[in-house]
Structure formats: C-alpha cells, structure tokens
Amino acid sequence: MKVAQFHNAGLINVGLIEGDSLIPFDFEGDMIDFINGGKTAKSLRAEAIHLDKVRLAPPVTRPSKILALGLNYKDHAKESKGTIPKVPLIFAKFPNSVMAHNDQIKWNTRVTNKVDFEAELAVIIGKTVYDCPEDTALEAVFGYTCANDVSARDLQFGDGQWVRGKSLDTFCPLGPWVVTSEEIRDPHSLKIQCWLNGQLMQDSNTGLMIFKVPYLVSFMSRHFTLVPGDIILTGTPHGVGTFREPPVYMKDGDEVVVEIEGIGRLANTCLTT
C-alpha cells in the first residue's frame, strides 16, 4: 500500500493513497507512530480527499537519523572517476534537510552557488534492529520512497567531508509517499530517473547498486541501532550535474523531478535568496 503524511489543521496525519485520492486513517499520530502502532491495525475514515486538495508532508518528519551512501552505483563511480568502495561509504544528512513533494528547495547564494541533484531510492526502517543478519534484513524495512540528495558541491568538495554540503535546510526532499515493502518485491529492479526543467538528466536502474539493500541494512545495523523512521538513502546513479561537461547546477525557478518505478514522482522547485 501507499501511505502518506499530510498536513491537517496544524497537525501531521497519515492516510492511504488510492489512485488520485488520500483516505485518512482513523488514527492520531504521524508516520513513526503509525509504524510503531502496527500498520495493519488502522481503519480508514469514510471520506476520501482528492490529492489536489491535500498538502503532503514528508513521508517521515522526525527521523532519528538519515544515513546516506556515496558511490553506490557503478555508473556514478565511473563518471566521478571514483574508486568503487570495498565497504559502504556512509555519510549523514541532518533531519532539518527533510522536505516534502511540491515544497521548495531553498538556498542562500552567499553560502553556495553549485547546488546539484541526486535521484535516490530511500529505505524507511520499520522496526528496531541491531546487528541484524543480511538474510533477514528486509524484515526491518517498512517501505520505500523517492529522495533527492541535494548537494552543495562547492561546500562538499571544499570541506573534504560531506555533511555541511548535504545538510542545508530543504536539501533532502522525500516523497511523495511511502510504498510499503510488500509492494516492492525486488528493490533492485526499479527504473530511476531525474529530470531538470523537463530534460532527462539521470536514467538508470537500482539493479546497478554496488551494495544492495539487505547488505546495507545489515551493515549499518552493525554500527548503529536502526529505529522506526530512520532513512537510508541508497546512492545515486550517473548523470548528476557536477560531472557533466560543462557542469549543470540548479538555479532559481528550476523544477527538479525524481521518479522511481513502482513508487511515484517527487517534484520540487528551487528558490534562491
């Protein structure tokens, strides 16, 4: 099923997506409360709301951590002239970077002028796990969503580490909703694409991941306890702006769209200050 968070009278509520409508669950709380409470136990309210009349929130608004992967696609490692890592290259994005479908990616041009897009499959953790075996790791996954690992390349490459350039406010668009794990039988056979102002920039498949989702969940849980609502960004394929000739960076007024097969379409516009 597709589950979304949405704004409702100053609160964040959870609903079921069916076609072009959202049906609120008869449940008070956000996505993490929903996951912890057992997703199958929630009944639906009678009324459906057309998505045109709904303001979606990010699928998770208070993750304890956002763990991200660098160089996790063979084609991206090649375009960046990077060495394929022998173990996952993990960095963090701060929760202040999370934003929703149709919200604006914002940045101050005094801070950065090289803002790039990165289409990614995001994994939403559904239960507390520590040091879980790889063969049972998918049992810890609640579902999947689209992500854009927005990156200030001048900060990222200038700092020599990635946290600042990856964690500016609004630099982690997620959405539009979560598709629960039983609907995605194989997270490594999904078409993943990114458009900038209607031009196709990234066109790949999650099958090109170097480290697959079960391994990533197992590996990360060996080092950090994973809890419901934690987000894992699984890396981006080739086609990002910074490695193009000439480089292509996002600018004020641009629209960037991430689309993943079986999940949906995450669209955001850009605003500079």
Q: How many CA atoms lie within 13 A of 165 on its CB side?
A: 20
Element (H, E) at 219: helix 213-223
pLDDT band at residue 38, thresholds of 50, 70 and 90? low
Provide the mean pLDDT of the chain: 95
Has residue 111 been placed in a domain?
yes
Whether residue 180 is found in the same domain as residue 152: yes
Residues 42 and 161 in one domain: no
CATH number, domain with residue 138 = 3.90.850.10
Give the least confident one: 75-89, 177-191, 196-210: 75-89
Please indicate whether residue 109 or residue 27 has the higher confidence score (pLDDT).
109
pLDDT tier, 59 (very low <50, low <70, confident <90, very high otherwise): very high
199: its two tokens: 């031009």
pLDDT given at position 37: 84
pTM for this model (two decimals): 0.96
Instruction: Output the pLDDT for position 39.
Output: 55
For residue range 186-199, what is the model confidence (pLDDT) as tens digits?
999 999 999 999 99
Q: Please tell me the total count of domains within the chain.
A: 2
For 1-26, b/e burial (b = at least 16 CB within 10 A) is ebbbbbeeeeebbbbbbeeebbebbe
State whether 219 and 246 are in the same domain. Answer: yes
The verdict on 147 and 179 lying in the same domain is: yes
> Does 146 lie in the same domain as 49?
no
Same domain? 42 vs 174? no
CA-based torsion, 70, 72, 73, 79: positive or negative = positive
Checking if the pLDDT of 82 tops 90, the result is no
Q: Would you say residue 61 lies in a domain?
A: no
Instruction: Answer whether residue 183 is part of any domain.
Output: yes
Work out the average pLDDT over 238-254.
Answer: 97
Spatial contact of 24 and 44, defined as CB atoms under 8 Å apart: yes
Inform me whether the pLDDT recorded for 77 exceeds 80. Answer: no
pLDDT at 74: 85
In a domain, 58, yes or no: no
Residue 60 counted as domain residue: no
- 72 and 203 belong to one structural domain: yes
- Domain extent for 36: 2-53
- 14 and 88 in a single domain? The answer is no
